[in-house]
Amino acid sequence: MDRPALLPGEIAHQHILGTYVALSYAVSYIGSVTTLELLHRRTGMRGWYNVSLLVGSAISMGSIAIWGMHFIGNRAIILDYGVESHQLIYNSSFTALSFFLPIVILLSAYMFIGTNEDVSKARVCVGGTIAGLAVVLMHYLGQFGILNYTSVYKIPFVMGSVIVAVVASNVALLIFFVLRSQWADVWWKRICCSFILAGAVSGMHWLATMGTSYRLRNAALPNGVLNKKQTVIVVGTLCLFTCTCLLAYAIVIGTKTRQMHTKVRKVTLSAVVFDPEGRLMVSTSGSLPTEVITDTLNSLLDQEFSREHPVFLWFYRVSRSWPSVKDSIFGMQQHLRTVEFRKLSTEEQSNLNVIFRELLCVAVKKLSEQLRHPLEHIGALHHDILHTQPSARSQVSTPIAASSDVENPQRVANGRGQTLFMYRQVSKEEAARLQSHGYRFASVKVAVDVVARSLQLRRDELTSHIQSMRESSGSESILEPGLHVGYFAVRANIDGGFDVLVQSLQPNLIPSVRLPIKALNDEMRLVIQSFHGMTLSVALRSLEDKIASSSGTEHTFLEELQSSIRTLTKAYPDSFWLDAIFSSVPVSLPCRPGNGDVEYSTAQMYIFRAIVPIHQREVSGGIEMSPFELFMTQQRTFSTSRDHEVFARQIHAEFSGLAERYLRMTKPALLSSRVASFIWPGSQRPSTAEKS
């Protein structure tokens, strides 16, 4: 049917191709999901890692989700019944400007939102509003660049498109950042947020298109203009490239996840780092920085690798004196390269212990390199070992077993592993540096679920250990100078040896309370000596009698002594304390220096001694049983202890000769002896090289 020719100044008839509408939304969704995935991986504002993710997210949203969607969407508009010369033609300058302008605006919006774990809804709303306006600005700037038509807008549709873009952008980004701050933004939730974000772009575009008419300017078709198919090919190629990069990234992350699951079946070492606010440092995937120590050596040791093992106790001391071993690690690495791990079963136990110690130190060295942190500041070893579970998903929330119970030892078998923890607290500057390297700091409450799954540990058990490390990462757990009264209780271990009763939050200290007295005079010492050998119940009755018959300074001292003992008894109300025997001989213990002039100090403690019945497994809150060997090791690791110097000399004597030996070793020849003798008849390999 013949139709009248469209003349300049007339409104063109238009209809929409549904195929291109669907294609435009798909393009917008690809850009949106890429944007949220990149934003999800950001950990801070500093560092090349974070800057590249920020720029990449702005480019993927601005160039693909907005710009690509707009131009593919406009190809769905058929004007003047499909007359070739009457289709939309764009100005190249405005097209380029509409490409870069939303990228710049979105970059500023994402920078304003920031990466804080404690999300600011106000900042997200401002950033979401800017992002929505960027969509609107790009759309109408692209429309302004049409050469052969003048766009005629209906104001209600313009206002509606602005509202749709701003509201939907705010909803999508607010949901995304709230979930991210709560470590609940799993992949399917990010996909749902991407649908909303893509809906903001597409909804705004098509609402504005429904309120737009096109008045013809001229029908001349300039040369060099991309036709409909060419536009789809260009934008489609850009989207395909983005999809490929995202898929490759997902494969890399998946590989790292599988590697993590393999790691936790072995003996591993994880870094637990806190910022000044007590938040936990994790990678973007929610796991702790982890290095493998060994996978088979622990099964060859003469006893289970636990916190009572000599190697663990040695490593505990090393972790509080890193300078003593720092210079020996290179020699350890050289030695381990010569070890044939398949033949370890033939080694003597002393050699196996040496190899295990070297593996521990080398793993710490690798962990410090992973964190880009000096070895001497990597932190201290936690006093306990956690055991991984065969199926973490089903057991993450299972009530914890008594991992410290001597009657229930847990061994590494059937795919289960052991995890050791190095912990420390960093300053604000160090936390910012770690964020620039791709790590995040999140509250323990919201991060522990992801960490427990990645390490295959029980959630409750891991939470209690992280809390213990958090308490220990602040000021040193050590006695204050002065006089103290304490309880020293032991319980026989059915496997041999003894366990000591210690404070739960300060496992290197026995239950004690400080007396409000700076020093004792001769009269006070005589009073204390009068209680020697008495049980607690008898001593308290004797104190009552002495207080009633005393006066002056002695009366005040006796009341303070009675108050301190009752305070200690109320804090740990166990029945076996009533039979505890008092010793009037003071014990000297390490303590915090009283002033800057005192390098090494001791505290004086008067002790009630008790034996906990072996059948009594439960004790009052705030105290727990700890292996005697571990407790004695902890007494040697205080910052004021002189044992650090002796320990450093022992390490140097043991490992310095080993390092020198393997540094002097002849490197293995690249050619066999027969080939070498054939090429160089006069040459011969040293006979001692293989033996060395």
Q: What is the mean pLDDT of each run of 10 residues along the chain (692 residues)?
A: 72 86 88 82 69 82 85 85 80 80 85 68 85 87 84 90 87 75 65 84 88 80 57 71 65 56 71 92 85 77 82 93 88 86 74 88 92 89 85 40 36 63 92 86 83 85 91 85 92 86 90 87 89 92 89 87 90 84 91 61 87 82 89 88 85 74 49 44 37 30
Instruction: Tell me, yes or no, if the pTM score tops 0.75.
Output: no
Phi then psi for residue 408, to 5 deg, are -135, 65
The tokens for 348 are 């003597």
3-state secondary structure 385-405: CEECCCCHHHHCCCCCCCCCC
pLDDT of residue 691: 32
Domains and their CATH numbers in the chain: 14-256 (no CATH), 264-472 (no CATH), 483-638 (3.90.79)
pLDDT of residue 411: 39
- Mention every residue, 6+ apart, whose C-beta is less than 8 A from residue 265: 295, 388, 415, 416, 417
Phi then psi for residue 42, to 5 deg, are -70, 145
Q: What is the dihedral of CA 26, 28, 34, 35, to 10 degrees?
A: -160
pLDDT of residue 533: 93
Q: Tokens 């049983």 — which residue?
A: 625
User: How many Å apart are CA 266 and CA 360, to the nearest integer?
Assistant: 13
pLDDT of residue 137: 87
Give me the amino acid identity at 167.
V
Region of 179 (left: φ > 0; alpha: ψ -120 to 50; beta: rest) is alpha
Helices (H), 486-637: 522-529, 536-549, 552-571, 628-634
pLDDT of residue 150: 87
Degrees to nearest 5, angle at CA 69 with 63 and 74: 125
* Distant-in-sequence contacts of 223-231, Cβ < 8 A, 24+ apart: 225/89, 225/90, 228/75, 228/87, 231/71, 231/72, 231/75
Q: How many CB atoms lie within 10 A of CB 560?
A: 13
187 contacts 254 by C-beta, under 8 angstroms: no
